[in-house]
Structure 1
Amino acid sequence: MAVMKTPGVYIVEKNAFPNSVVEVATAVPAFVGHTEFADNRNKPLALTPWRISSMAEYHQFFGGPPKPVFKLEETADQPDFMAQTVVDDPSSKKGYRMTQLDGPDGGSYTLYQALRHFYQNGGGPCYIVSVGTYKQELDPDRFKLGIDELLKEQEPTMLLVPEAVKLKEEQCTDLQQAMLQHCGNRMRNRIAILDVYNGHKALNDDNPVGKFRDNLGINFLDFAAAYYPWLNTTVVGEKDLSFENVSTDSIDLLKSLIRAELRIASPLPDGVSAQTRALNDAIDEINGDFAKLVTDEAAKRPNAKPLTPDEMEAGILARKALLNKTLSRHSSVFNTVLAESRRHLNVMPPSSAMAGIYTMVDNTRGVWKAPANVSLAGVTSPTVSISAEQQEDLNVTAQGKSINAIRSFIGEGVLVWGARTLDGNSLDWRYINVRRTMIMLEESCRLAAKALVFEPNVANTWVTVKSMISNFLTSVWKRGGLMGAVPEDAFSVHVGLGETMTPDDVLEGILRVTVLVAMVRPAEFIEITFQQQMPKS
């Protein structure tokens, strides 16, 4: 108020309404893993949480996918496919297996494909923490450093490390426990979505779920969810693989199998057709020097000039594309090799897809809707078919570590058929939507209340806090986020001297607010009772 010393009219404005609580974002996952590079206009982004909202932005800052490399080898134990082995003898067949090489040599990094699956299922803004490039080995300590960097970020509400299952089992367990510590102990405003190690195996095959439960421990389970089994996806398409994805030490075997299928002898005899000779040349090109081939071809042109680097690169790409197209058109063995490689790559853990489902459900229904009974996009089937009897132990167990099932139903597709946290025996935090809704309410009110820090601890401030939180909870209740027929049944806010505070609290500068909310819980079990009655007419 201005000091009144000069006669005149003075205007005084007073706020009629309390500050409002702004609802925080609920579906912002943070992905920690390896990328091709991490750069923002020559500014390194390694171990730096970086927000993106699309795959186009990911390509700009973190590059493209890794180059997976597969070894083709003969095997008599559960082969991936059978192939003819001798020219002119179709009955001479043996079994062959495709095995992806580990580490940088095999491009066994899954963050890129996990992110594609995330966006296929409705994903939105997210954070990327690059802990290394495709030339570095997977290191659990680097992953932990990446997780620690997220302590500086308040926006992420989910934490995922898709490449954790590529580590050794004990290293994966240690990393997942670090994720629980981060979410449930240090931040308490986000949840971890975990993958079951070896989750592509059946329940009676090495007991992956039992080992996961035994290894994880009991701390902060209400801040995490896990899903089983892994998924057969369509993330990696036909155009994503070529002959370059076969390891160099397997090229000769691949060439011999293609020749046996096409009945092309080596060395090539005299008198063969031009088409056979062209196919034989194409087979020889698989491990050829493409730069030399392009240079020799350019030299045959009239008025030939040395190729520029861009022309050389374009020529090599065109030559490789033509070779891949030729082999695909004529050789079923070649197509089978790529199909089996693609099948291996498309077996993916479900955490990234579930992060997309959380985002989609939050945007369409609200964070209080359980992210279950929803179909998964880009998925052909679970790797393991689960029956209702098998799900009983996953959903309800004496130890309380509930694992959410992903099941395939006839006529409905692949559905998420569980909505529990790992703390399945807790009546407070059994359900994922309850935990995530509470996180949203707590963070929204906390950030709004920061505006009142250092305000006088008097009745006017108490009324402001109560009105501010009450208005916010009323808006959540109107959208179906809280139970109750009227707001009084849905929540209550308590603050004041003699109600939530003592005189000592006021002297110590403490303002205590108690908020009671009636959370929405899913109808997980629906019972319909039928009973016969006497005829009435």
Structure 2
Amino acid sequence: MTTQPSCPGVYVVEGGMPSVSVNVAATAVPVFLTDCSENLNTDIPEDVCIRLDNWLDYCVLKGLYPRLGEVAVKIDSEPLSGGGYSYTYEVILQCHPEIDLALRQYFENGGGPCYILRIGTSDGVISAIKRVRDITLLVYLHYTIDSDRRDTYYSWLNSLLGAGNNYFLIADADAQGKPPDTKSEYTSVYYPGLIESAASERPPDDLIEVIGYIDDSGRSVTGFSDLKPVNPDLYTEISATIDSRLARLKVSVTPAAAMAGIYCATDRTRGVWNAPANAPISGALDVAVMVSDADQGTMNDDGINVIRKLPGRGIVPWGCRTLAGTSEATDTSWRYIQVRRLFNSAEADITKAMQTMMFEPNYQPTWEKTRHAIENYLYSLWRQGALAGGKPEDAYFVQIGKDVTMSDEDISAGKMIAKVGMAAARPAEFIILEFTQSMSM
């Protein structure tokens, strides 16, 4: 509307057309799915995404700091000919702390806010994830000894992968290094497992069962706390053995959770367009399998990212491919994790921004406002190094308009169509140095 001023001064004119800007949302917010009810407090409901901001939140959620050892003591009591008893014992340690340790590795490797979801039903899992708008990464946590349900749960998650959903799956290969059956361009797979110390404070004495103890008076003891006043010397000896066993305890943890932490740290410090690779994994003592260069070459051709223990580098993820990055794939558009995730991020950001233009007049001013907002967003990505090209027009394009992206029929049907192209920067996966000996020097 034109303002007709009647005297000198400053006049404010408010426009009725909404402004458009594309804001950058969080790119790495994982949900960790687990079906291991014995590893979680039974009060945790199924099919509900529960937010965790740090490792302490997980400990509080379980009701106590995760105890990593379940201890029992089996004692053989043998009467001596001269009176009294001789005692031999066995410390029975049942310890499956993989999920606890995996989540701890996530936070140790730079992970931020996340969600944990106790698996119930297929429909319940899918609905719970969709209700939380900021989730971008899917991770299934499982015991290394538990593989019979992996295919089932990965198939559930597979239904979430695809254009428009903006989810990316971080998966583990099985013990033989085989990937799960998922939508390849939206999945990264890691192998082998990570060896981590499970050393922890041992359970209280009253939670340690004693089996088979009988003293010279015929008294039996069933709890470790009751053994101390009855036979303090034997109690002290067994106590030291339990502490020693727990201190030496090491387990193999599936690597997906630690990698989710590296994704978060990489996105936060360098941007989603950078490879979550070649960064030391904190908390890992070793790899479960030492993979040779030749074996990694084969696995790399299969789209599997190998975690290596390299001299001078430590334990690092030595690959950044999706499952679509096989040597047999003729289309290499989605070979690399960071390219797929950059497009996921851009699609989500632009889609959210375009929602502000719903029901606005479908005509040139609206199209120009939309084009300008998307171009500003892409220009920022290019300036940060996310897009290839020496100048903006080489890095991206935005097209919108009548007879450009829309026909009269499209406009009449209420369709506003924008086409966006991006030239994503790709990694230097193979660095080849050519040396030539000069005979003339």
Measured against the shorter chain, the TM-score band is: 0.7 to 0.9
What does residue range 456-495 of structure 1 map to in structure 2 within 5 Å? 456-495=361-400
- List alignment gaps of at least 5 residues for structure 2: 81-87
Task: Give the conservation status (yes or no) of the 8 Å contact 1:242–1:324.
Answer: no
Q: 1:242/1:142 Cα in 2 relative to 1: closer, same or farther (>3 Å)?
A: farther
Superposition deviation, residue 163 in structure 1: 2.1
The CA distance in 1 between the partners of 2:191 and 2:103, in whole Å, is 19
Structure 1 residue corresponding to 2:41, chosen from 23, 36, 42: 36
Residues 186-241 of structure 1: CA deviation (Å, up to 9, x unaligned): x62111111223x3xxxxxxxx12xx34xx33x5111111111001013x334255
TM-score relative to the length of structure 2? 0.83
Aligned partner letter, 1:436? R
TM-score relative to the length of structure 1? 0.69
1:221 and 2:158 correspond: no
What does residue range 5-154 of structure 1 map to in structure 2 within 5 Å? 11-14=12-15, 18-33=19-34, 34=37, 35-36=40-41, 46-64=46-64, 65=66, 68-69=69-70, 100=94, 108=96, 110-131=98-119, 141-142=120-121, 145-154=124-133
1:501 and 2:406 correspond: yes
The CA distance in 2 between the partners of 1:97 and 1:389, in whole Å, is 42
Task: Give the conservation status (yes or no) of the 8 Å contact 1:29–1:160.
Answer: yes
Aligned partner letter, 1:182? L
Q: 1:17/1:389 Cα in 2 relative to 1: closer, same or farther (>3 Å)?
A: same
The percent identity for this pair of structures is 29
1:177 and 2:155 correspond: yes
Residues 457-479 of structure 1: CA deviation (Å, up to 9, x unaligned): 11111101110000011111111
- 1:438 matched to which residue of 2? 343
Residues 48-74 of structure 1: CA deviation (Å, up to 9, x unaligned): 223231123334445332664367899
Aligned partner letter, 2:437? Q
- 2:141 matched to which residue of 1? 162
Give the total of aligned pairs.
Answer: 419
Q: 1:26/1:515 Cα in 2 relative to 1: closer, same or farther (>3 Å)?
A: same
The CA distance in 2 between the partners of 1:286 and 1:473, in whole Å, is 66
* 3-state SS, counterpart of residue 466 of structure 1: helix
The CA distance in 2 between the partners of 1:157 and 1:497, in whole Å, is 34
User: Greater share of strand residues, 1 or 2?
Assistant: 2
Superposition deviation, residue 337 in structure 1: 3.2
Superposition deviation, residue 144 in structure 1: 6.2
Superposition deviation, residue 114 in structure 1: 2.1
Superposition deviation, residue 516 in structure 1: 0.8
- 2:83 matched to which residue of 1? none
Task: Give the conservation status (yes or no) of the 8 Å contact 1:164–1:175.
Answer: no
Structure 2 residue corresponding to 1:413, chosen from 292, 300, 314: 314
The CA distance in 2 between the partners of 1:436 and 1:480, in whole Å, is 15
The CA distance in 1 between the partners of 2:139 and 2:21, in whole Å, is 32
Residues 18-71 of structure 1: CA deviation (Å, up to 9, x unaligned): 5210011111001122431557xxxxx542223231123334445332664367
* 3-state SS, counterpart of residue 239 of structure 1: coil
- 1:231 matched to which residue of 2? 194
- List alignment gaps of at least 5 residues for structure 1: 40-44, 75-84, 88-93, 101-105, 132-140, 200-207, 257-265, 269-280, 297-321
- 1:193 matched to which residue of 2? 170
- 1:337 matched to which residue of 2? 245
Q: 1:195/1:99 Cα in 2 relative to 1: closer, same or farther (>3 Å)?
A: farther
The CA distance in 1 between the partners of 2:69 and 2:288, in whole Å, is 21
1:535 and 2:436 correspond: no
- 1:373 matched to which residue of 2? 278
The CA distance in 2 between the partners of 1:182 and 1:97, in whole Å, is 45
What does residue range 249-398 of structure 1 map to in structure 2 within 5 Å? 251-252=210-211, 267=216, 287-289=224-226, 326-327=236-237, 331=240, 333-339=241-247, 342-343=249-250, 346-397=251-302
Task: Give the conservation status (yes or no) of the 8 Å contact 2:18–2:357.
Answer: no
The CA distance in 2 between the partners of 1:24 and 1:324, in whole Å, is 60
The CA distance in 2 between the partners of 1:117 and 1:520, in whole Å, is 29
Superposition deviation, residue 98 in structure 1: 6.0
The CA distance in 1 between the partners of 2:122 and 2:414, in whole Å, is 41
Task: Give the conservation status (yes or no) of the 8 Å contact 1:165–1:195.
Answer: no
Task: Give the conservation status (yes or no) of the 8 Å contact 1:361–1:369.
Answer: yes
Task: Give the conservation status (yes or no) of the 8 Å contact 1:27–1:362.
Answer: yes
Task: Give the conservation status (yes or no) of the 8 Å contact 1:394–1:403.
Answer: yes
Superposition deviation, residue 367 in structure 1: 0.6
The CA distance in 2 between the partners of 1:407 and 1:491, in whole Å, is 36
Aligned partner letter, 2:397? S
Superposition deviation, residue 97 in structure 1: 9.5
Q: 1:242/1:386 Cα in 2 relative to 1: closer, same or farther (>3 Å)?
A: farther
RMSD: 3.8
Q: 1:476/1:326 Cα in 2 relative to 1: closer, same or farther (>3 Å)?
A: farther
Task: Give the conservation status (yes or no) of the 8 Å contact 1:477–1:487.
Answer: yes
Q: 1:240/1:391 Cα in 2 relative to 1: closer, same or farther (>3 Å)?
A: farther
Q: 1:52/1:335 Cα in 2 relative to 1: closer, same or farther (>3 Å)?
A: closer
The CA distance in 2 between the partners of 1:356 and 1:324, in whole Å, is 45
The CA distance in 2 between the partners of 1:110 and 1:126, in whole Å, is 18
Superposition deviation, residue 371 in structure 1: 0.5
The CA distance in 2 between the partners of 1:233 and 1:372, in whole Å, is 20
Structure 2 residue corresponding to 1:514, chosen from 380, 403, 419: 419
Superposition deviation, residue 165 in structure 1: 5.1
User: Greater share of helix residues, 1 or 2?
Assistant: 1
* 3-state SS, counterpart of residue 184 of structure 1: coil
Q: 1:243/1:493 Cα in 2 relative to 1: closer, same or farther (>3 Å)?
A: same
- 1:260 matched to which residue of 2? none
Residues 240-283 of structure 1: CA deviation (Å, up to 9, x unaligned): 5576786x4xx448x89xxxxxxxxx759xxxxxxxxxxxx9x9
Aligned partner letter, 1:338? L
Q: 1:358/1:17 Cα in 2 relative to 1: closer, same or farther (>3 Å)?
A: same
The CA distance in 2 between the partners of 1:526 and 1:486, in whole Å, is 25
Task: Give the conservation status (yes or no) of the 8 Å contact 1:434–1:520.
Answer: yes
